[in-house]
């Protein structure tokens, strides 16, 4: 589906954006436009990935006119730009509204005006029953994506707006793994909020596979969620100690907006959720079961209303965690 396509990635210089760019370049794409506001990271990325199909656009998703220019003749958009660090967003909530909410609406408007074929919004588990400002802005991002078709004339060109939801990528920038690793290497104690906290585990390769598969499967106004295993912070600490040594541990209070366990689908959303062995899709509540079956072959209607959360799924073993950390290249 990517052959000969022009693709734009917002937040393209971030961990996910870089990895997604490298993966997409393996296909016979026409061009990939990397859209971000970080000039230094764009220069680094251009030096690292030397490919004549790459284009770099300095810009901010808060600027709709710049987005519209960057989206000219683009077929597929992956929207990964966001303010995402929970403590930063708690301290600067309206800045996150400007980027994560208003910036997303700017992107939607630009996609419609430029007749983009598919727009994929990369979300987070923190959007479910949000406890923090970051999660609240990402919930609104999701809502904007799944309702964007309301702006479209059904008889004219229609952009597919697809939303994705998963947890932190293991080892990605800003996640707990590189922070713990840096603390160990510096001889500092690991700052552990609560060893019993759980988080769903997804590697970068798994995230990329999920993104590309969902892009191919989605029809618009849908939310895709992968089925994942989870790990506890205590188990993660033990895995890192075995790999790097034990600098000790310092307990810190739960930060504002932190949950003990993350929820990927709440019990109310399960009413409109369908599943395969590997994924869920949350569909438009107005669709009949027969229509959903025809649109999403291989998906079966979920028969439980139990929420899907990091404390209710299979836990990844310490050995699996160690392998994932090693595969991430951080150690």
Task: Report the relative pairing of strands 300-301 and 308-309 from DSSP bridges.
Answer: unpaired
* Cβ 201 vs Cβ 230: under 8 Å: yes
CB 170 within 8 A of CB 207: no
Chain centre distance of CA 4: 25
CA distances from 144 to 150, 210, 236, 267, 329 (A): 10, 21, 35, 21, 35
Place of tokens 């479910």: 128
| Parallel, antiparallel or unpaired: strands 198-201 and 229-232 | antiparallel
Q: How far is CA 184 from the centre of its chain?
A: 27
- For residue 91 the two structure tokens come to 């301290």
Cα–Cα nearest to 100, from 117, 118, 122, 78: 122
Handedness of CA 82, 87, 89, 92 (dihedral sign): negative
186 half-sphere exposure, CB direction, 13 A CA radius: 10
Torsion angle (degrees, nearest 10) of CA 227, 228, 230, 236? -170
Contacts of 148 (CB under 8 A, 6+ apart): 108, 111, 112, 119, 159, 161, 221
From CA 310, how far away is CA 255, in angstroms rounded? 19
Helix (H, G, I), strand (E, B) or coil at 2: coil
Q: Check 6, 126, 138, 237 and give the catalytic one.
A: 126
Residue 126: active-site member: yes
Q: Is 221 within 8 Å of 158 (Cβ atoms)?
A: no
C-alpha span between 166 and 299 (Å, rounded): 19
Q: Which residues are catalytic?
A: 126
């Amino acid at each position: 589906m990517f052959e000969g396509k022009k693709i734009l990635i917002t937040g393209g210089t971030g961990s996910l954006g870089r990895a997604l760019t490298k993966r997409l370049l393996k296909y016979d794409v026409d061009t990939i436009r990397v859209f971000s506001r970080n000039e230094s990271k764009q220069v680094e990325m251009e030096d690292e990935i030397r490919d004549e199909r790459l284009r770099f656009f300095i810009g901010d998703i808060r600027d709709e006119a710049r987005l519209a220019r960057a989206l000219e003749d683009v077929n597929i958009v992956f929207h990964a730009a966001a303010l995402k660090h929970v403590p930063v967003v708690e301290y600067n909530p309206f800045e996150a509204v400007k980027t994560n909410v208003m910036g997303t609406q700017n992107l939607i408007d630009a996609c419609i005006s430029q007749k983009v074929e598919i727009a994929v919004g990369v979300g987070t588990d923190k959007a479910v029953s949000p406890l923090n400002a970051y999660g609240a802005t990402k919930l609104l991002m999701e809502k904007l994506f799944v309702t964007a078709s309301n702006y479209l004339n059904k008889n004219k060109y229609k952009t597919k707006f697809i939303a994705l939801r998963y947890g932190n990528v293991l080892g990605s920038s800003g996640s707990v793994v590189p922070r713990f690793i840096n603390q160990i290497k510096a001889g500092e104690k690991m700052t552990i909020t609560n060893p019993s906290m759980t988080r769903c585990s997804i590697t970068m390769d798994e995230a990329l596979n999920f993104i590309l598969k969902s892009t191919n499967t989605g029809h618009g106004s849908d939310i895709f969620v992968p089925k994942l295993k989870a790990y506890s912070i205590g188990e993660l600490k033990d895995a890192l100690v075995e790999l790097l040594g034990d600098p000790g541990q310092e307990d810190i209070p739960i930060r504002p907006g932190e949950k003990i366990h993350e929820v990927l689908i709440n019990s109310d959303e399960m009413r409109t959720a369908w599943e395969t062995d590997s994924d869920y899709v949350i569909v438009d509540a107005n669709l009949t079961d027969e229509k959903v079956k025809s649109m999403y072959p291989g998906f079966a209607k979920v028969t439980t209303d139990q929420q899907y959360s990091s404390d209710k799924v299979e836990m990844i073993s310490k050995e699996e965690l160690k392998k994932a950390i090693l595969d991430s290249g951080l150690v």
